[in-house]
Chains A and B, each alone.
Chain A
Amino acid sequence: MSSYLELSARQRIPHLFDAGSFEEFLPPGARVVSPHLAQLDAPVSFDDGVVVGRGLLDGQVVFGAAQEGGFMGGAVGEVHGAKLVGMLGRAVIENAHAVLLLLESGGVRLHEANAGLIAVSEVMRAILDVRAAGIPVIVAVGGANGCFGGMGIAARCANTVIMSEEGRLAMSGPEVIETANGVEEFDSKDRALVWRTTGGKHRYLVGDCQLLVADDTDAFRAAAIAAMKDARGKGAALTLEDLQAEQGMLERRIRDFGDAPDPLEVWRRLGVPEPAAVPMLKADAFLAMAAQYRAGPGTGEN
């Protein structure tokens, strides 16, 4: 077993895919770098912060990507986004069995502001193209930088989101909210509050993450295989019924928790007996407890 959190994007790939099966498209040797960073005197990376390619997962041909949080926080620039879009397009052309995205990103790369914003929207459309072709898209979130901004939205366009407790999934980072609306609104230095609000356990309890695992590459791999089988069985494409069910889940969430001041109160209203003890539970104990209380299984996105 090894910690998913502590590995680089490039190290995660062989742990998640079948050993030795992954072939990278446009590898670092191709030297395709961002055209925008040099003029800002910012360093470039030969993979522009993302690995894309094709491998085997449980013997099936699965396309994949891994964002490198160590390069500009995994943020999406012009080349980074185009690599993702190209890989997603190729998954459709080659009729992949599934797509596995190991996401770790702050969202739009501000050094490439406008190009990054358009790129993230292109990634979203490309993910939905893959699903419309009947190919499941599975997202894993467990890196130190979390999954934020436009990539937090893109993650929720997938069939399944797998998270570890340490993973964080949201839109605006706590620092951004604190800067805009003050420390009373969101104290970004209150680590416990940040994790309660954006961490894997909360996302699992409210229904934004379908599988929660320990911070262990084997656990992420097993969950990805299970999610792939499940989504192939159900059908990966979105239907009107799926979207109406999601509409219902999101309406109920506002109705039931819209005035809750803190995630602890959300968990209490879900019926969790000891909300204050939730952050301390190990993954197995948490899952055993959470099963009967989590919101909307079967009514959420799948």
Chain B
Amino acid sequence: MDWQTLANGLFPDGHDIVERDNFLSGTGRIMAAEGSQTVAVIGTTEHAPIGIEIALAQAQAVLRTVKEHPGRPILILVDTQGQRLRHRDEMLGINSYMAHLGKCIDFARRQGHKVLGLVYDQALSGGFITSGLIADACFALPQATIRVMGLPAMARITKVPEERLTELAKDNPVFAPGATNYLRMGGLQALWEHELAAALVEALANVDAVDRRMLLGQERGGRHMAQAVAEAVRTGGDVRPA
């Protein structure tokens, strides 16, 4: 889905989102139970590779929202092919730019901003980890592609035959790309299938700042160990199988 169609679906009462060099920013208007409300929007489009400039532009937009509009909810629209793979980005410390963006979003959360991620097209590893995955909760459109890497590349690196990975991927969400697998593992809160505007209003009414992804992954049968292991370490107990 292109970002204009998405924005019109999310904000039928109007928005002023603009695109510049694949960076999206602006605001949208929603009709919440308590009345009309403004949502800050940042994001990327055209499967943008996340390089240092676009990471910094997103961070700046988050900081401006925190400073000028305390408490305003923030929606992160995710469409990226992952981090930009260039020597220049590494030389200038792209991990620091990504971390800065992550810290700004996390800071906004702690200042009382609700932060939602929405994968509307494609999300890949490095571009996703400090956007949708650091929001209070991340959502996706059902047709969205989410992955660390494709199975052929994974087969090359892990030295496991691709046929074997394809077979495993049928019932193990760990290996295969796709929104439903991230849903099962708790990485996504829910899929937004219809009525985007209503889904957004409902999500904003229900999210909080607690990271429940391990618990969700356990409940949904996508990650059996994470919750039990973290809990055992936290409390000094044993790992109890889910």
Tell yes or no: A152 within 8 A of B by CB: yes
Contact present for A113 and B85 (CB under 8 Å): no
Interface residue ranges of B121-151 to A (CB < 8 Å): 125-126, 128-130, 133-134, 146-149
A180 to B186, CA, bound (A): 30
A233 to B95, CA, bound (A): 27
Contact with A along B88-130 (1 / 0, CB 8 A): 1111111111111011101100100000000000000110111
Interface residue ranges of A196-233 to B (CB < 8 Å): 197-198, 202-203, 206, 208
Contact present for A172 and B226 (CB under 8 Å): no
Residues in B with CB closer than 8 Å to A78 are 174, 223, 225-226, 229
Residues in A with CB closer than 8 Å to B164 are 40
Taking the nearest CB of chain B, how far is it from the CB of A258, in angstroms?
7
Contact present for A114 and B147 (CB under 8 Å): yes
Tell yes or no: B187 within 8 A of A by CB: yes
Select from chain A the residue with minimum beta-carbon distance to B167: A39
Give the number of A-B contacts (CB < 8 Å). 248
Tell yes or no: B15 within 8 A of A by CB: no
Residues in B with CB closer than 8 Å to A79 are 225-226, 229
Contact present for B147 and A122 (CB under 8 Å): no
Tell yes or no: A46 within 8 A of B by CB: no
A39 to B160, CA, bound (A): 10
Give the segment of A4-12, A236-244, A274-282 that binds chain B. A236-244
Select from chain A the residue with minimum beta-carbon distance to B241: A35
Tell yes or no: A110 within 8 A of B by CB: yes
A238 to B223, CA, bound (A): 31
Tell yes or no: B60 within 8 A of A by CB: yes
Contact present for B186 and A171 (CB under 8 Å): no
A108 to B187, CA, bound (A): 15
A156 to B100, CA, bound (A): 8
Pairs across A and B, CB under 8 Å, 23 listed = A30-B238, A39-B172, A78-B223, A82-B226, A82-B227, A82-B229, A85-B233, A86-B231, A86-B233, A114-B181, A119-B226, A121-B134, A153-B95, A153-B130, A172-B90, A180-B85, A243-B103, A243-B107, A250-B56, A250-B97, A262-B91, A301-B96, A301-B100
Sample of 18 more A-B contacts, CB < 8 Å, known A25-B233, A118-B186:
A32-B239, A35-B225, A110-B154, A113-B149, A114-B174, A114-B177, A117-B129, A121-B134, A152-B95, A153-B99, A171-B95, A186-B86, A186-B87, A198-B90, A203-B93, A238-B106, A263-B91, A301-B100
